Amino acid sequence: MADEIDQLLKTYQEGRIDRRQLLAALFCAAVAQPAGAQSPEPVFRGRLLNHVTVGVSDVARSRAFYQALLGATIQKELPNQVDLRIGDSFVTVLGGQSPGIMHFCVGVEKFDGDAGLARLQSRFAETNPRVVTNELDQKQIILRDPDGVTVEIADVKYRL
């Protein structure tokens, strides 16, 4: 799956797909696994794509787009941000940023930030993982994938 994601990112960077197409493809890649695929024991067991945060040039325009395209409903709205519920996940639309994906968050069950950080540091130290405490006083892990994309790992119930 890492090769598929690398190819998707390359395709996006080359301008052959737009960010919405990239989001859809990443979501599909995250939830799909080929039959019979075997891989080493993962550090975490992702259960859902909790959310994706995208930078946009116009929050109102992007909000209207996602509502019309996907039936998204407003979960939270601030002056320059809106969280749009889409099923069991959401998309954070954040204005005043360079347009593009800022990060995505994967929810895991029985999440323990400190223990997870120790496992990541022993297996993926090059990702520079760190634990942060979010606005709900919950721990999350932030790291970068091999291409520098920010990945957030949190409890499966974060902001749901």
Q: pLDDT of 139-151, one tens digit each?
A: 999 999 988 899 9
Contacts of residue 6, Cβ cutoff 8 Å, sequence gap at least 6:
146, 147
Bridge partners, residue 101, by sequence = 54
Residue 39 has pLDDT above 70, yes or no: no
pLDDT at 33: 56
Least-confidence region, from 15-24, 65-74, 116-125, 148-157: 15-24
pLDDT at 134: 82
Q: Is 68 in a helix, a strand, or coil?
A: helix
Q: What are the extents of the domains in the chain?
A: 1-33, 43-155
43-155: CATH topology is 2,3-Dihydroxybiphenyl 1,2-Dioxygenase; domain 1 (3.10.180)
Q: pLDDT of 50-98, one tens digit each?
A: 999 999 999 999 999 999 999 999 999 999 999 999 988 999 999 998 9
